[in-house]
Structure 1
Amino acid sequence: MLREYKTPKKVYVRLIAYGLPLTLISFLVALYGGSLPELLFGTIGTVFFGGCLIAAIIRLFSKTPELILYKEGIYSFQTGYIPWTNIHRADIRTQMIGGNAFVELYLRDRRAYMKTRPLLARIIAYGNRMIGHQYASISMALIYDSSGPGIVYAIHSVCPDVETPLSLLRDDPSDSSR
């Protein structure tokens, strides 16, 4: 393991504190809503917020860091393990709404990657693709001790064969001594 990026446990406690009432409200809207839109929105909200709540609870008790860069590949809770040999490019994308940054991993063999993913992870990967992200997309929202450019720079340092934007490689963005 060359580099690891952890998320403070208090972040997951906060996510659980927000997710629990949202899941409960969505469930109650689905259960007691009198119209089809209420049933639809309540059900979608229950599945979405409930899924996020379960993921936050799992991450709260997990000892595995959010992101790990190995000599042979990268592991993220969001993407699973991907060997460097299956990544040809790493880039950053920022959402228009909310400004959340994502590290986008462009895969050489998408099918090989998808075969190794559990069903839920494949559904999320296809959903990522439907909204314009890569199949392997890492949200920086939960990675507190670095930035998107810092992660891409670290990827380039560990595996120079992965193509990265040259503008990100001029200086080490994680170096705060400048």
Structure 2
Amino acid sequence: MQRKDVVIIGLGWTGSILAMELAQEGLDIVALERGPMRRTNPDFRYPINTDELTHAHYFTLMQRPRESTLTMRHTPDQLALPYRRLGSFLPGHGVGGAGVHWNGQNWRPEAAEFRLHSYVTETFGADIIPEDMQIQDWGVTYDELEPHFDRWERLIGCTGIAGNLNG
């Protein structure tokens, strides 16, 4: 194999967008992915994409705990035990990563979330926040981050001009 400028491990949203950005700068890239290659057709054509047994029961788009052990503990002094079944945390398996099984869903935080402590205090009063709750303002505003949200959404293709762009 020829030498490359960059090796990207994992070709989900983060890896694929990083690869695209680096390629636009003229770098030669190779990406390594432990799962299968996914293609729009045939992998996601109807009725294959609606196979509830395959996707919702067998979780074929997700990593298996036996293939990549994740452990959990609630405090530092507890023994870390492995997950046997993943609940809402479902890392993706294959090209596209978790972006594939999340169906490209992407949410922007609300402006109030960036100043959550201030918002809750102003709206409901400081007494509503428990003493041990570490609620705080982010230190950055929605308006400061909005251009980056916009750029991200255009990169992943969840915003922009709708319709048949080529006629």
Same fold (TM over 0.5): no
Superposition TM-score, scaled by structure 1 size: 0.20
Superposition TM-score, scaled by structure 2 size: 0.21
Q: Which has the larger radius of gyration?
A: 2
Q: Which has the higher helix share?
A: 1
